[in-house]
Structure 1
């Protein structure tokens, strides 16, 4: 009888141990996969010393403007990202990200649910990541972090005129296949191709991008190229292709668009210094990105080019307090059907200063000031001072000041 009781106890113990092992294995398997819900909210009060009045009073002088503006540094967003360990250094990864306006609660990116990013792919720990979906190009990945437009620095308000080089992350590429390598002794590279999705018109609004970066001690370097292929005739344009015109994220529109960029950064202790150059050109222009949307007229049928030369610096006075500044000189030109650049030679001088104070690891307060002046535009209103998504000035200069705060979760 005692032996039977002892045997029963052993069976119970074995079942208990088996259950414990099963729970442990389940826990380990769950630990190898993760899904993260995250977000960021950025809003503040913005002052402009002069801005264009409503269309009905367009010929009147400008007026000062106070407004609440969302996403002065970083666009407010929420998203889901995750990975699953498939074994052997291979993981499945995905990213879904929505943009929204704090002031109105409305979706950004033309109302798309996941208009900022939407992709899925595989990551090999020894080689890199292959992803498919709506994604950023390599100017955003490798050059923007070296600029004051970096999401960790002054962001959107420090963007170059009309965001002509996409360092402000406005344009994404739909239907894209992208490979980004891991770091090999500080060197990374990548390439991507975005399909047009149009039957019989493989190159009608297709796009490709490639780039590389290198880090060596306190030095960081990056360079990238982006080309969007579109027809010269607007009537033949494929609006839902790689660079969609339906999501309000396109930049200068027209025929073929090319953007080159390179930058360098030196970091030491609690300071950094950066240099960035970008060049963009769009043929047979139909619209230009201004005040947060693409406007037509004034440049129709012409080609337009920009060169941006930026120097920036940042200094951490304390771990929770930083100051920074940037100067950008932008030259522009446009011409007629000959694709010459003789009609005008506009140039912009832009100066930005910023202070940022961390209330916690996730919440900070910022103060940003920008001065922009344009010359040589020959009276063409399309080349008016234009700071980020704000209303442009009716004159040749504009001053903007913004105070706000960001919270990450």
Structure 2
């Protein structure tokens, strides 16, 4: 029987891909995370902009991402000989409740691989990767948070609150007001671990014609891990940010105030120190983050150019398959006296298997000040100067 042309092409492609995979190690992986979310305060405004926010009332919804957003990816390596390896990784969010690709971390539009698209080389020297990738500061952030920098009530949601307090944060993660979770156009070097110390450095090109500095970002991060103790530190510096784009949405007065945010202006700096210690079933953590606008333009449309974030946390392995964690996060506005945001979160994870987790979590946030609109839920903006309570129960499965 004669095979159809499409069948022949499919068969040839299968053989070729099988041969390619035989020469290298390629893995398909991902996670699906869905839960029922109840939140008392939502924003009917634009993104995370405090001055464009307005109370939208409470909401009960099926939400993607109680621990982390659903995602999928491909990663692999090829042995090049002499201890040298070629590396690649592609990873993107998907909305499990609708099946759409992309998510809140998309660099623009609906990006398929909005989290990572990297290629690199690894060996005894460590590894160097180029492309869009997770910023080294995120790993430092997560290593000093008993809540694990998850998408509900954690150091990550507090970092988003830190950015929204600037008054000009649209929700992007490539060059926001303070720090970044993801870097476009980045070169990242991870040094080999030495005496339990890991160092990483990143440089993100601004890709701006006529200026090497414009819209560029630099990050240094250090992690120490030994005998249950983890210590972390990072320093982030950036030029240009989303302020002008945000100002367009806030009217002519805001445009004038944001005029100083040129692509070459050093308007984005974030530093952190943190630690976490685990002994037996118990874990404690603490951290500090300082967010600054180095050029002090005071063009923040009612927001702040100097903020501090302090956090403490604890976790207890109440049973072999159950972990209880709590975190307290406080943002202080150094520009406007009395403007603060406090967030308390509590959660229980039950491990059905190594890959499947049931979770239930709750959080309370008190926002005080016209530029304070911290949300306990990642990618769920709330109205400014309003308290927020939320709970979520869900299931996460990784493959």
Partners of 2:147 and 2:237 in 1: CA distance: 21
What residue in structure 1 maps to residue 42 of structure 2?
51
RMSD of aligned residue pairs (Cα, Å): 3.3
Q: Equivalent of 1:263, from 258, 263, 274?
A: 274
2: CA distance between counterparts of 1:145 and 1:163? 19
1:1-400 equivalence runs, <5 A? 33-52=24-43, 63-106=57-100, 107-108=102-103, 109=106, 110-124=109-123, 126-148=124-146, 150=148, 154-158=150-154, 159-160=157-158, 162-164=160-162, 171-230=181-240, 234=244, 256-282=267-293, 299-300=300-301, 303-333=304-334, 341=335, 343-375=336-368, 377=369, 380=370, 382-387=371-376, 388-393=378-383, 396-400=386-390
Q: Indicate conservation of the 8 Å contact 1:211/1:222, yes or no.
A: yes
Cα shift at 1:216: 2.4
Q: Residue 393 of structure 2 corresponds to which residue in structure 1?
A: 403
TM-score after normalising by structure 1: 0.74
- Does structure 2 conserve the Cα–Cα contact (< 8 Å) formed by 1:161 and 1:330? no
CA contact (8 A) 1:95 1:117 kept: yes
Alpha-carbon displacement from aligned partner over 1:116-143 (angstroms, at most 9, x marks no partner): 001111111x321111111222211223
Q: Distance in 1 between matches of 2:54 and 2:115?
A: 37
Cα deviation, residue 386, structure 1: 2.5
Moved over 4 A (4+): 29-32, 52-55, 58-62, 283-286
Rounded Cα–Cα distance in structure 1 between residues aligned with 2:397 and 2:242: 44
In structure 2, stretches of 5+ residues that fail to align are 1-17, 47-51, 164-172, 248-262
From the superposition, tell whether residues 94 and 156 of structure 1 become closer, same or farther in structure 2 (CA, over 3 Å): farther
Displacement, 1:155? 3.9
Aligned counterparts of 2:272 and 2:81: Cα–Cα separation in 1: 37
> Structure 1: 5+ residue runs without aligned partners?
1-26, 238-252, 287-297, 334-340
The Cα shift of 1:164 comes to: 3.1
Q: Report the Cα distance in structure 1 between the residues aligned to 2:295 and 2:58, rounded to whole angstroms.
A: 35
TM-score with structure 2 setting the length: 0.76
Question: What is the count of residue pairs matched by the alignment?
Answer: 338
Change (3 A) 1:285 1:82: farther
Note if contact 1:35-1:81 (Cα within 8 Å) is conserved in structure 2: yes
Secondary structure of 1:205 counterpart: coil
Following superposition, the deviation at residue 255 of structure 1 comes to 5.7
Q: Is the 8 A contact 1:188 1:213 kept in 2?
A: yes
Return closer, same or farther for 1:393/1:200 CA change in 2, 3 Å cut-off. closer
C-alpha distance in 2 between matches for 1:62 and 1:74: 25
* 1:172 Cα offset (Å): 1.2
Inter-CA distance 220–88: structure 2 relative to 1 (3 Å threshold): same
- The DSSP-based 3-state class of the residue aligned with 2:58 is strand
Whose Rg is larger?
1
What's the offset of the Cα at 1:199?
1.7
- Given that 1:52 and 1:393 are in contact with CA atoms closer than 8 Å, whether structure 2 keeps it comes out as yes
- Alpha-carbon shift at residue 193 of structure 1 (Å): 0.9
